[in-house]
Structure 1
Amino acid sequence: MVLAEKKYIPKVFAALVRVISVVRSVVAMEQGAVGPDKDCGYEGPFLKAITGIPISMEGKTAACAHFSPIGNIASACCDLWSNESVQNIKLLSGMAPTAYMEQLEYDARLMNEALKAGKLHRDVLQQLLVSSDIYTDPQALILSPVNVIRLSKELIKGDSYVANARNGALAAIDIIEEALHSGNMRLSEMEISYLPILRDDLNSIPDNESDFIEMMLPLIDGSKFIPAEYGL
C-alpha cells in the first residue's frame, strides 16, 4: 500500500499482493492462532471470513504513520480498531499520541453505539463506511465485505497454497475489471495496462509448489542467497 501511494508499484498490483498474502496468514490459523491479527496487514477481513477469528484493523486514524486509500472501509468488519506508530511530538492541541488516541476513541464510540442501536443502524454505518471508499481505489475494492467473501472462497478451494494464492489473485483481477467495465471505478491507463500482464503471469503459475519453485530458481540471482539454506 505504502509503495503504491508513492507510485513505486501499481495500485492494482498492491491490491493483488494483499489478497495473495492471505494464504500466508491462514497458515497461522491452521497452526492454532486465534487472533486478533495484526492490524496493518489488512488480511483481517479475509481471515475473519475464512476462519471466524476476531480481527484488528487500522484506517484513517493511522494517517500519522502512512497515507491510505482504505481509511473507512477498513473498519467495516473490524472487532478491534487501532492506529499506527505516532511520533511523540507536540501539536497545537497537545502531544501527538494523545491527540490520535482521542480520534481513535471517537471512532470506537461511534461503532459501539451503532452496535448497541441494533441491526438497522449497524448495517447503515457499515454500508456508509464501505460506499465511501469502495470505488476510489482497487485496494479498497477488494476489502468490501461482499468481495471479501467472494475472494475468500477462491483462497481455500485449491489443493495447495500456491494454487489458492493464484486463484485469489485472478478473482481479484476479475473484480477490478468488473468495476471498471461497470463504470463504477476509474483508473489511469497505466494502471489498467498492468491487468492483462498480471493475469498472464498468474495463469502461468502451476498448482504444485515444487513446480513453481523450479520455475523460479533460474530467474533468481544466485549470488543473493544460498538455495541450500532453504532446502532447495
Structure 2
Amino acid sequence: MRAEFTPRVFSNLAIGNADDLVFGVAPHPVRCGLGLEIGSGKVYPEVNFTLPTMELTEATWTQVRAHYEEIGRQVVARAVRLKSPGLVLEFEHLPPMTERPEWGAELTQILKARLMEAQEKSGLPSALRVTPTDIREKGKPPRLRRGEPCETLLRAFEVSAEAGADILSIESVGGKAVHDKALVVADIPAIAFALGVLAPRDMAWLWARIREVCERRPGVVPGGDSACGFANTAMHLAGQKMLPEVLAAVVRAMSAARALVAFEQGALGPSKDCAYEGPVMKAIAGVPIAMEGKSAACAHFSPVGNIASAMCDLWSNESVQNVRLLSGNAPEVFAELLEYDCRLMNAASASGQAKALRDLMTLSDEWLSPQAAVLSPAATIEIASAIVSKTDPYDRTVAAGRAAVDLLDRGAREGRLALARKERQWLDRIGEALEALPADWRDLQAQLEPQYGHLYDKESYGLA
C-alpha cells in the first residue's frame, strides 16, 4: 500500500548563500527519462517547439504528425552531431491537443520514439517534458475543480504519462481572471489576493492530482508550474509601456510564493522554462530549474536575456515554430544555439570558472532593468528568505513583494538602478499599498468582494 503523502513545509533555504547559487548544480538532482540526471553538474538544452501557423483539425492531422516527426528527428540528430551530453525536449500542447487527449498522446509517442532511437544508437541521455494546456478557464467564472474541461485536463496528464512523458508540467491559471483585471489597473490588493490566496489554493489542488498521476507511473516526474499567465503577462505589458516596469518586477517576486506550492505538493523539478521565478524555487526547495533568456527571443522579448541563465540547470528557447530558415528548420537551429550556450557554461564549470561566468551574466543585466534586478543571486536569496519566514501563502506573497520593493528602492538610492520619475513614484505607491494590506486575507477578500467577487468561483478554491 502506498504511503499517504504529506505536503512539504519549507521553512529554511536549501541554498542559503548567493555564492552557492550557480548554473548546473542543484542540491536535489533529478534523474529522469533515458539516463539523464539534471542538476548534477551540467546544463542541458531544453528545446521547445510548436507548429507553424496552421489550423489543427482532423483534416490537417496528417500534416501535424509530420511536423512533429520532422522536429523530433531533426532536433535529436542535431544534438547527436554536436555531441551534446544530454537533451530535453519540451512538448507544449496547443489547446486542441489537450481538449483531445489522444492527440497529445499520439504526438508524445512520436517524440519519445525519436529519443529512444537516439539513446539506442548513440547513447544520448534525454528526457521528454509534456506540458498540457490548462483548459479549465472556460466559462465565466471558470470552474476549476469540476466539469468537462477539468476532467479532460486530468485525463491529458494520464494519457501523456502512458504515452511516454518523462516530466509533467503545466502553466496553471487559478486566480488569473482576478489577476488580469487587477494588473491592468495596478490594483495591488487584488494582485496580492489573486497570487497569494486564489492561485496557491488551485495549485495545491491541481498539483496533488498531477503527483498522483506520476505515482501511478513510476519514472514519470512531476516537474513544476509557471506563473506565465501572471508574471510573464506583466513583463510583456511592461515591455509595451502599458504598465510600470517596477510593477512587473514586484509581481515576479510575488509569483514565487505561488510556484512553491507545486513543490510542497510533491513536484521535484525541473521547473518550467518560462517560470522566471525558478531561481527562488532552487534556493528554497533545492530543485533543478529550467530557464529561458536571450534564446527565447523567437517567442518574446525580455530585459533578462543573460541573467536568466545564471542559475539554470536546463537552458531553453521558450517556443519556436517549425518554419524553414536558411540553415535548416527553426527547432533544429535553436537546438544548436542552446547547445553552444550550454557548452560555454559546462566548460566554465569544468575549469572552475562557473561563478565567474555566472557573475558576468548577472552583471551584464542586473541594474539595467528592475525586472533583471530581482533575478540576481543576491536578490533571489533575499526574496526566498522573505518567503520562508512566513507559512501562509498570502503572507509569503506579501513578504516577497515587500522584499522586492526594498531591494529596488535600495538599488535606486545607491545609484545602481536608474528609475525614471514615474517609475520611482510607482515604486513608492506599490510599497505603500503592500504595507497597507490587511494582515488576514479574509479581510482582504471581503474588501475586494464587490469589485472582484463575480470573477471567481468560490468552490473552485475551497472558499464556499
Alignment TM-score > 0.5, same fold: yes
Structure 1 contact 44–56 (Cα < 8 Å) conserved: yes
Give ranges in structure 1 of 5+ residues lacking alignment.
none
Within a 5 Å distance, the mapping from 1:216-231 to structure 2 comes to 216-220=448-452, 222=454, 224-227=455-458, 230=461, 231=463
1:106 to 1:80, Cα distance in 2 relative to 1, 3 A: same
Within a 5 Å distance, the mapping from 1:48-197 to structure 2 comes to 48-118=282-352, 121-197=353-429
More displaced 10-residue stretch of structure 1: 143-152 or 203-212: 203-212
3-state DSSP of counterpart to 2:315: strand
Q: TM-score, normalised by structure 2?
A: 0.48
Pair 1:5 & 2:229 matched = no
CA distance in 2, matches of 1:195, 1:2: 18
CA distance in 1, matches of 2:456, 2:267: 30
CA distance in 2, matches of 1:100, 1:193: 40
Q: Deviations over 1:161-180 (max 9, x none)?
A: 11111111111111111111
CA distance in 1, matches of 2:326, 2:244: 36
More displaced 10-residue stretch of structure 1: 69-78 or 156-165: 156-165
CA distance in 1, matches of 2:460, 2:390: 28
Once the 2 structures are TM-superposed, how far is the Cα of residue 95 of structure 1 from its aligned partner?
2.1
Once the 2 structures are TM-superposed, how far is the Cα of residue 152 of structure 1 from its aligned partner?
0.7
CA distance in 1, matches of 2:298, 2:447: 41
Percent identity over the alignment is 45
Structure 2 contact 244–423 (Cα < 8 Å) conserved: yes
1:155 to 1:226, Cα distance in 2 relative to 1, 3 A: closer
CA distance in 2, matches of 1:114, 1:16: 32
Within a 5 Å distance, the mapping from 1:40-51 to structure 2 comes to 40-51=274-285
Opposite residue 323 of structure 2, the aligned amino acid is I
Greater strand share, 1 or 2?
2
3-state DSSP of counterpart to 2:388: coil
Once the 2 structures are TM-superposed, how far is the Cα of residue 212 of structure 1 from its aligned partner?
2.1
Once the 2 structures are TM-superposed, how far is the Cα of residue 191 of structure 1 from its aligned partner?
1.3
Structure 1 contact 160–209 (Cα < 8 Å) conserved: no
Q: Deviations over 1:51-83 (max 9, x none)?
A: 101111111000000001111001111111111
CA distance in 1, matches of 2:448, 2:391: 20
Once the 2 structures are TM-superposed, how far is the Cα of residue 225 of structure 1 from its aligned partner?
4.5
3-state DSSP of counterpart to 1:202: helix
Opposite residue 100 of structure 1, the aligned amino acid is F
Structure 1 contact 23–161 (Cα < 8 Å) conserved: yes
CA distance in 1, matches of 2:442, 2:458: 14
Give ranges in structure 2 of 5+ residues lacking alignment.
1-234
Once the 2 structures are TM-superposed, how far is the Cα of residue 50 of structure 1 from its aligned partner?
0.6
CA distance in 2, matches of 1:7, 1:90: 32
Opposite residue 179 of structure 1, the aligned amino acid is G
Aligned length: 229
3-state DSSP of counterpart to 2:365: coil
Once the 2 structures are TM-superposed, how far is the Cα of residue 90 of structure 1 from its aligned partner?
2.3
Structure 1 contact 15–139 (Cα < 8 Å) conserved: yes
Once the 2 structures are TM-superposed, how far is the Cα of residue 207 of structure 1 from its aligned partner?
2.9
CA distance in 2, matches of 1:8, 1:126: 32
The equivalent position to 1:30 in structure 2, one of 245, 252, 264, is: 264
CA distance in 1, matches of 2:243, 2:272: 23
More displaced 10-residue stretch of structure 1: 151-160 or 205-214: 205-214
Structure 2 contact 253–404 (Cα < 8 Å) conserved: yes
Opposite residue 77 of structure 1, the aligned amino acid is M
Once the 2 structures are TM-superposed, how far is the Cα of residue 200 of structure 1 from its aligned partner?
1.6
CA distance in 2, matches of 1:84, 1:17: 20
CA distance in 1, matches of 2:414, 2:237: 28
CA distance in 1, matches of 2:425, 2:451: 24
CA distance in 1, matches of 2:377, 2:456: 40
Greater helix share, 1 or 2?
1
CA distance in 2, matches of 1:20, 1:213: 18
CA distance in 2, matches of 1:203, 1:123: 36
CA distance in 2, matches of 1:204, 1:61: 40
CA distance in 2, matches of 1:167, 1:78: 25
Once the 2 structures are TM-superposed, how far is the Cα of residue 197 of structure 1 from its aligned partner?
1.2
RMSD: 1.5
Q: Deviations over 1:82-130 (max 9, x none)?
A: 1111122222333222222211111011011111111xx1111011000
